[in-house]
Structure 1
């Protein structure tokens, strides 16, 4: 006797009831699948993007906003800091290295980041084509930027003011692409990198020809370390006071983690924030919303489990005569129990498979609607080992829903049922 085939026949005999139970279970499991995928990828991505950065320094304001803008480039900067204070901080004995960042422009929504060569080196970035910038207005494109806008080495473009698309363009200066980075799966993929001087000169009120000489003078300083790149001696004599947006700091020793943030926050007009601390706070806040969504998914799954139980129990009452016939032709009580359990397991397995596919499909739809930002870099069709637990959880619901109907099937009396007929 083929129990699997017989169970399938019983399920397809009531397609509407079976389909409704499968769909209800799939919706609950789809929510859990999306949460698992997003939580896993977000945490890994956030940790990867912040790797090697001990402290972020910027204008006073929200510490979380400073981290999101300076490390992940998904928020507005808190403001600018003076070059004088940045230079003083660079000489502190607790600081191993400082990476300067000047923000304020974008191209088609992708942020143009003025920095030095230490920034791509922080992520061990590799060039797919060309070289790193050497002169002002030379840029290197992240892999995702190059793919979306279709630019390659030698192409030119004009940046727009602000960090979001739709602002006025800086027509006076054109950026030239000199390199494209290899895909790395980190924040660099979504950035356009250039020298700090490029950002400064773009926002000068001078005409391009007036600082053309300055551009040449700075060509040898545009990509080198912070100490040389921002030193006052590296600027033209007529240069005005300059500003930076953020500083990414690496500690020289463990003592710096205790002393340096307090020194900056209390002794300067700047603000220091720890990426690890602020992201831990963010995940803690997000955890409340994730827990609520998980609770909603569990409720939906519970309702679907109840629906499966009702469907199996009702179906059992209607086919007790069929079960009695099966017993009469040689089926054992255990086989009848297995028949009911197989129906519950097949129902929930279909729901699990459909739910996981719906979850991945929904995440893919979300990503397709977000061309830029962290969401756009997520991978919707990566299957995690945690999803196997979703299948196990679904099958457990099927087994629990089948226990009472299976016991009823076990107690089926051949004589009683055939006498009624």
Structure 2
């Protein structure tokens, strides 16, 4: 009940000032400078940028026609269905102009002036330069047209109202192309442009307000509905990369594995569909930028360790389960055999305040992406079918408290909460 009341209040307060946002505008900014590319090169450039933006992931159903839309994106406010962006003139974007496409990317407005829902991450894509938008437009106009009508969204009231969306935009969105930061290198600025813009990393790696807004950069947060925790990229206590070797960051982004960590869950899809296809200089630029992000001045103080009899019994049970099911791969000392079997000792994915990722990997298995740099990835089998909630809690608690790891215990109730959560 709380969310609709807040939304209704905002609707009343902002209706008058936000109404103008419903109408199309022609303030498209200056035209892009000549690219110097012929049409074939422009299309190729757009194809590359579409990979960088991971456009296919949302605009293609599993087993469906590429970019024909129809994938259901689950949000706390209902279901958003991705549109057809093939070159079909009736159901896709074949009748759009380059200006129409730029308006969608930069201002979050459709060809007819209607506001787009931010499940399409125009809050990030607004940073994309016009010349890159035009290259993307050229590519999508070259995608073979496929006639597939767009399905209506299934959002609850008042979130299905354009005026409510206008109010949301007044709070959380301001169009702005990325501006290079003076004093930083070209490589750093290239990385920032990709991470903040087409990479739309903050779409997952940031917390959300009650209304789904985000303005805290890359400080981490639980991905709504999906039930995975995207760790902070600004804190070295979580996934911050300040003490990583740049080469290891490049390996992780490009192949999904590195001597320090392996990607699982939604990030595995990002690596498989997007990052592995990017040029190494661009991935390295992203690594340089991510490595530079500031960490906290002082790490948070760990909570006092529970030394009760019940807590000790849980750790003992977890140790026995680890020896039976995990040590053959991850080793008795938790150092693993990277990159196939990632280390658990000092693994920040295990020690975040939220234990959801560790719980879900133990329950459902861990599947690294198959990439050109890691064509035969090692995977971890699911233990949900053979371990009950209490046993999963015990082994995860043991992982979070061993080999120098120091994170709170996990309860069987926490495990049960995620046992039936869909994998995507």
Q: Select the structure that is richer in helix.
A: 1
Is the shorter-chain TM-score for this pair beyond 0.5, marking a shared fold?
Answer: no
> Under a length normalisation based on structure 2, what TM-score does the superposition of the two structures give?
0.23
Q: Select the structure that is richer in strand.
A: 1
Higher RCO (CA < 8 A, seq sep 6+) = 1
